[in-house]
Amino acid sequence: MTALLKLDDISVSIGNLGLLDRISLSVGRGQVVGLVGESGSGKSLTAMAAIGLLPLIGGRVTKGTVRFDGQDMAAMTETQRRKLRGARIGFVTQNPMTALDPVQRIGEQVDVVSRLHLGLSRADARARTLDLLTRLRIPEAGAVVDAWPHQLSGGMKQRIVIAMALAGDPDLIIADEPTTALDVTVQAQIIQILGSLVRERGVALLLITHDMGVVAQVCDRVAVLYAGRLAEEGPVGPIFAAPAHPYTAALIGCIPQDGMAKGSLTGIPGAVPSAAAFPAGCRFHPRCPRASDLCRNTPPMIVHRTAGQVACHHPGEAE
Partner 1 sequence: MTAPMVKIDALSKRFQSGGGLFAKPRTMMAVREVTLSIGKGEVLGVVGESGCGKSTLARLVLRLIEPTSGRVTIDGTDITALSAGALRRIRRRMAMVFQDPYSSLDPRYSLADVLAEPLRLQGEVIAPARVDEMLASVGLPAALAASHPHQLSGGQRQRVGIARALALKPDFVVLDEPTASLDVSIQAQIIALLADLRDRLGLTYLFISHDLGLVRYFCDRIVVMYLGSVVEVLPDTRTAPRHPYTRALMDSNFAPDPARRRVIEMLTGEVPSPFALPPGCAFATRCPRASDRCRRDTPALGGDAAHPVACFHPL
The whole-angstrom distance between residue 294's C-alpha and the CA centroid of its chain comes to 32
Residues shown for the chain: 319
Q: Which does 300 bind (CB under 5 to 8 A by kind): ligand SF4, ligand ATP, partner 1, none?
A: ligand SF4
The count of chain residues that interact with partner 1, using the rule CB under 8 A, is 45
* Residue 249 touching partner 1 (CB under 8 A): no
Nearer to partner 1, 95 or 217 (CB): 217
Q: How far is the CB of 105 from partner 1 (least distance, A)?
A: 18
Our CB check for ligand SF4 shows the closer of 23 and 295 to be: 295
By three-state DSSP, how is residue 7 classified?
strand
Nearer to ligand SF4, 90 or 299 (CB): 299
Q: If contact means CB under 5 to 8 A according to the sort of partner, which of ligand SF4, ligand ATP, Mg ion, none does residue 42 touch?
A: ligand ATP
Judged by CB under 8 A, does residue 266 bind partner 1? yes
DSSP secondary structure of 144-199: HTTS-GGGS-HHHHHHHHHHHHHHT--SEEEEESTTTTS-HHHHHHHHHHHHHHHH
Identify which of 296, 286, 312 has the alpha carbon closest to the alpha carbon of residue 224. 312
Distance from C-alpha of 182 to C-alpha of 188, rounded to nearest angstrom:
9
The CB-of-269 to partner 1 minimum distance in angstroms stands at 7
CB of 302 to ligand SF4, least distance (A): 11
Helix (H) or strand (E) holding 184: helix 184-201
46 binds Mg ion (CB under 5 A): no
CB-nearer residue toward ligand ATP: 43 or 245? 43
Please select the residue that binds Mg ion; options are 11, 26, 41, 44, rule is CB under 5 A.
Answer: 44
The total of other beta-carbon atoms located within 10 Å of residue 134's CB is 15
Position among 213, 279, 286, 316 found at the interface with partner 1 (CB under 8 A): 213
Which residue in 42, 44, 62 sits closest to 231, CA to CA? Answer: 42
Q: Which residues bind partner 1 (CB under 8 A)?
A: 38-39, 137, 139, 153, 156, 183-185, 187-189, 191-192, 210-217, 236-237, 240-241, 250-258, 260, 262-263, 265-269, 271-272
